[in-house]
Amino acid sequence: MKTPLTRVEILSIYKVHGERVLLPERMALAPPDVREAIRGLAGDLRKAGGRLILSDLFRSHDMQLQAHLDWKSGKKKAYSPPPGGSMHEAGRAFDLSLRDLRIPLAEFWEMAERRGVFPIIGAPDRRKSEAWHFDCPGSHRRVADYYRAGRGDNMPPYKAMAVSAILAIGVRVDAFGDNQDAARLQASLIRLGYELGNIDGRIGRRTREAMEQAEIDIREPALAVARAEDLLQQRFAGEYRESSPMEEDLFDFLVPPHVLA
């Protein structure tokens, strides 16, 4: 199965009649492990006297395209890559309200790392652009590490990680054209620890060798993808299955009843 997207119920920076409201449904989607990380962070922050308030989470292909066009036109100051290059497109990145953290950013970084959540900038400086952006890469971090080690070289490590995460939820990455299954299979094999060169959507000798090592039938790409996903589910179960949290744990603090209406 593809990595599923689940509903994330979390307060946002947006207000209706002066009251905070939940993150809009079109953005409030994430894989199960990301949802659990957000829930956990919200609870950790609440105990520390802060609040986890989001402004962004999931972006569809069209939403990402619009963000990129807004950056190009100057409407949006922070850089947004074109579709196929953002962890937001996989529901694995979120932007938060720095003001509502109410703890030092460095302290939040440590808190986030314990939940498998990482900043996109190099130092905890609130003045830096993207200080509000955090990723929960899960097993896709293996793809970034693979590219960082020089085993793949056709795109930057972060983009490779984003490509892997986007393909995993079954969303098209334009760069691969009609070869979506092949690219998804290659990314899956890298996450499983196999070496095959680049994620390029072409099943060449090295990809076939990796498939044989993984005991995946090379004759039918679609079936091969399904087999690779079975292996991924066994190894990274949390990315495919969520726990069943108590209803009161869904929010980072008490929400007025009329906000939920």
CA-based torsion, 169, 175, 181, 182: positive or negative: negative
Range of the domain at 122: 6-136
Instruction: Let me know if residue 62 belongs to a domain.
Output: yes
Say whether both 211 and 232 belong to one domain: yes
Structural domain contains residue 251: no
- Position 11 in a domain: yes
Cβ neighbours for 98, distance < 8 A, ≥ 6 positions apart: 105, 126, 131, 132
pTM (whole model) above 0.85: yes
Of 113, 136, 159, the last residue of a domain is 136
Using the predicted structure, report yes or no on whether residue 246 has a pLDDT greater than 60: no
Nearest residue to 66 (alpha-carbon basis) of 85, 46, 82, 47: 82
Q: Is residue 192 part of a domain?
A: yes
pLDDT tens track for 130-179 = 999 999 999 999 999 999 999 999 999 999 999 999 999 999 999 999 99
Domain-ending residue, one of 136, 168, 196? 136
> 74 in the Ramachandran plot: left (φ > 0), alpha (ψ -120 to 50) or beta?
left
130 lies in the same domain as 166 = no
Whether 258 is in a domain gets the answer: no
Whether residues 149 and 235 fall in one domain: yes
Q: What is the CATH number of the domain that holds 42?
A: 3.30.1380.10
Are 125 and 162 contained in the same domain? no
Domain count, the chain: 2
Residues 89-130: tens digit of each pLDDT? 999 999 999 999 999 999 999 999 999 999 999 999 999 999
